[in-house]
Structure 1
C-alpha cells in the first residue's frame, strides 16, 4: 500500500496470528513486498491502483473487503486510528456490521486507537459500533478510558501499538564511526482536518533546516530523510525532497530514503542505521524507540502525544506547535545526542506488553505460552 506504518501492521499481524491464534490470516490489501502471507487481492495487482481515489481504486477496495468477509471466522481491524468519527460513513463499517448482525463472523480490533471524537452524537455512534466487537485491544490509555466510558471494558484490553511486536534490537555499546547520522521522517498531515494544534509543516521544515545547519557547523552530520508514505497525493516525498534540497544548499550531506520499492523490514533496518531520529510519522518514532535510537517526536496528533506519554518520553523531546519551534528543535537535537535522556518505559517491557495484544484474545490458542520474540520472513522475501 506504499505506507510503511500500514504495511508494518501486515507483517506483525500475520506473524502474531499464526503464533498466538493458530490461524492462517488473509491480509485485506494487495501484496506487500517481503510479507509472506495470503491476500484478498491477486499478487500481481498493483498497490498504486488499489489506493487511488478513482473508480478502479474504489472497486478494488470494495471487492477486496467483500472477499475478506467471505469465509472468515473473525475480521480483525489491525492497527491505527481506525475507530473514530470519520469511520461513520465508511463502506467497510457498513459491511462489517451487516455481516456481524447476520452471524457470519466475529469482529475484533488490535492495536487501535479510539477517537478523537467530536461530539456526543459521534460518541454514541462509536459506542454502538464497538459494542459489536468480541475483542478490542487498544494502544493507549486515552482509548481505553473511552472504551470503559462506552461500556465495553469487559472486552477491551489495554495494550501497545502493533509495531511493538517487532523484537527489540540490541544497542551497540560503542558509538558508530563517521558522521552522526540523523534520521528525519516528515509527514504530509492536513492541519485543517486534524482538529489538533499542530506545527505548520513549512515552518517545521525551516526549523529543521536551520537547526541541523547549526549542528553541522559543530560536528560532521549525515541526514537521512525518510519518506514513509509514498501515496502520490497524500504522501511524504514532496516534503522530504524539499528538506533534502534545503540541506544540500547549506552544504549538509542529505539523502531521501523512499519506502517505495522496499519491504517493511528493510525500512526498519534503514531506520536502525541512524544515531538519532526526529519523527513526525508515529511509526518512525516507534521503530526508532524499539531499536534503542534516541528520538524526538513532533506532536501533530493525539496519537503522537499518547505514545510519548505511554513510554515516558521527556517533554523536551516532544516538539510542539508555537512560536518557539526552532528552539524546540534545537533543544531536542541537543538532548538526543546527550546520554541519560531515554524514555522511562523499557523497550523490552513494551515488546512483552505488545505480545499480550494477541495472547489475551478469547480465541488465542497459546495464552499459556511465555512471551517471546516472533520470527519474521527475511526482508528480501518476495510476496507470493
Structure 2
C-alpha cells in the first residue's frame, strides 16, 4: 500500500466553526453556509464542522437547561474532535461568556481563530479583560471593520488583526439579480427594541415620500425567529400599521423562505430599509440601495467602513429624507461592492496561509 499517497489525501486539519448557529437567525445561518461553501479557501486541506443544527432547533436554541446542555454537548464534541476552533462571523467579541468561556477554559492545545468578527464596544472593564484573555489564544484574527482594529488598540494582544469585511462577502449566494422589482423590503429587528408606533410612522412616512414619484409595494421581512430576538410579532405589527395607512404590504420570513430565497428577495428589491445588519449587507453586496438603522455599533461601523454614513439613521430619526435620497440616487457608498468583495477574498485567502 502506498501510504504516502494515502497521507496526501487525508485532511491534515479538523476545524470546528463556532458562532450563534442553530437559532434561526438569517445572518448567522448565512455565516454557516459561507463557511461550508468556502471551507477550502478558509482552511485548505481541512475537514470543517459546526456540530450545531443545520437550521433552527427549538431544543438547541432553548434558554432552559436542556438547551444549555445541548450547546455544551456540541462544544464538548467539537473540543474532542477539532484541532482548530474558529469563531466565524458576528459581533462576538464584546465579551466572552457562557459556552464560549467554558470552551476557552477547556482548550488543550487547539489552534484558535476569529474570522469576520466585530470587536467591541466592550460591556465594561471586565468584558474587555475577558476579550483580552481570549485573544491571547488567537493565532489568526480577521475583523469586520477598521473600528474593530481601533478598539483592539486598547488591549494587550499579540495577534495582528486584518480587516477583511463581513465573511458573507465571500459567498456567491449573495449577488445582484438581473431583474429588480418595485418592492421595498423592510427588515425590523426585535433586538433594536423599537417602539412599534414610532417604527410604523418612520416606515409609513418614508413609503409615502418615495411613492410621490413612483408607486412601490412593501414586504416586511422577519429575519430572525430566536427567543427574545424573534422578529415575527414586530413584523406583523408593522405590516398591520402600514396596511391601516393604505400601503400595499406583504409579510415574509426567513424561516419560511430559506437562505436562497431570502437573498433573492433582498437582491431583487427596489430598496432595503433594515434594522438587521445583514439585511443591509446583502442589499449592499447586491447593489441595492439600502438604509440601515444604527441601533448597534456594528451597524454604524459597517456604514463608516464603506463610506455610507449618510445611509445610517438613528433609532428615533425619520427615515423619509434618507429614503428619498436613495430613490433618486443621491446616496451611494464610497466603496463599491466589488471592492468590498475583493478585499475580503484577499484578506481571508492570505490569512489562510498562516
Distance between the aligned counterparts of 2:76 and 2:103, measured in 1? Answer: 8
Quote how far apart the aligned CAs of 1:52 are: 1.0
Matching residue of 2:104: 96
Task: Name 1:291's counterpart in structure 2.
Answer: 286
Cα separation, partners in 2 of 1:268 and 1:190, compared to 1, 3 Å: closer
How far the C-alpha of 1:15 sits from its partner, in A, is: 1.9
Give matches, 1:1-384, under 5 Å: 1=22, 2-22=24-44, 23-32=46-55, 47-85=57-95, 87=96, 89-99=97-107, 102-103=108-109, 105-152=110-157, 154-167=159-172, 169-170=175-176, 172=178, 176=180, 180-189=182-191, 200=195, 202-216=197-211, 218-315=213-310, 317-322=311-316, 325-326=317-318, 329-361=319-351, 363=353
Are the aligned partners of 1:115 and 1:143 in contact in 2 as well (CA < 8 Å)? yes
Which structure is higher in RCO with an 8 Å CA cutoff and minimum separation 6? 1
Identify which range, 224-233 or 19-28, moves more after superposition. 19-28
CA distance in 2, matches of 1:232, 1:256: 20
Change (3 A) 1:289 1:55: same
Alpha-carbon displacement from aligned partner over 1:76-109 (angstroms, at most 9, x marks no partner): 1111111123x2x31322223321xx32x11111
Contact 2:209-2:324 at 8 Å conserved across structures: no
Give me the whole-angstrom Cα distance separating, in 2, the residues matched to 1:83 and 1:314.
23
CA distance in 2, matches of 1:82, 1:154: 17
Normalised by the length of structure 1, the TM-score is 0.80
Q: CA RMSD in A?
A: 2.2
Report if the CA contact (8 A) 1:185-1:225 is conserved: yes
Q: Which residue of 2 aligns with 1:378?
A: none
Structure 2 unaligned segments of length 5 or more: list them: 1-21
Identify unmatched segments of 5+ residues in structure 1: 33-45, 192-198, 365-384
Post-superposition shift, 1:358? 2.6
Q: What does residue 35 of structure 1 align with?
A: none
Residue deviations 1:163-218 (CA, integer Å, cap 9, x gap):
2112363565xx857xx311110001255xxxxxxx65542232212332354455
1:200·1:321 contact (CA, 8 Å) conserved in 2?
no
Question: Taking structure 1 as reference, are residues 218 and 338 closer, same or farther at Cα in structure 2, changes over 3 Å only?
Answer: closer
Cα distance in 1 for residues equivalent to 2:31 and 2:175: 18
Question: Take 1:282 and 1:7, find their aligned partners in 2: how far apart are those partners?
Answer: 13
Tell me the distance in 2 between the aligned counterparts of 1:171 and 1:273: 5
The alpha-carbon distance between structure 1 residues 149 and 211, as it changes in their structure 2 partners (threshold 3 A), is closer
- CA spacing shift, 1:153–1:286, aligned 2, 3 Å: farther
CA–CA separation in structure 1 for the residues paired with 2:309 and 2:140: 33
In structure 2, do the counterparts of structure 1 residues 333 and 27 end up closer, same or farther at CA, with 3 Å as the change threshold?
same
Count of residues paired in the alignment: 330
Asked if the contact 2:138/2:159 (under 8 Å) is kept, the reply is no
TM-score for the superposition, normalised by structure 2: 0.86
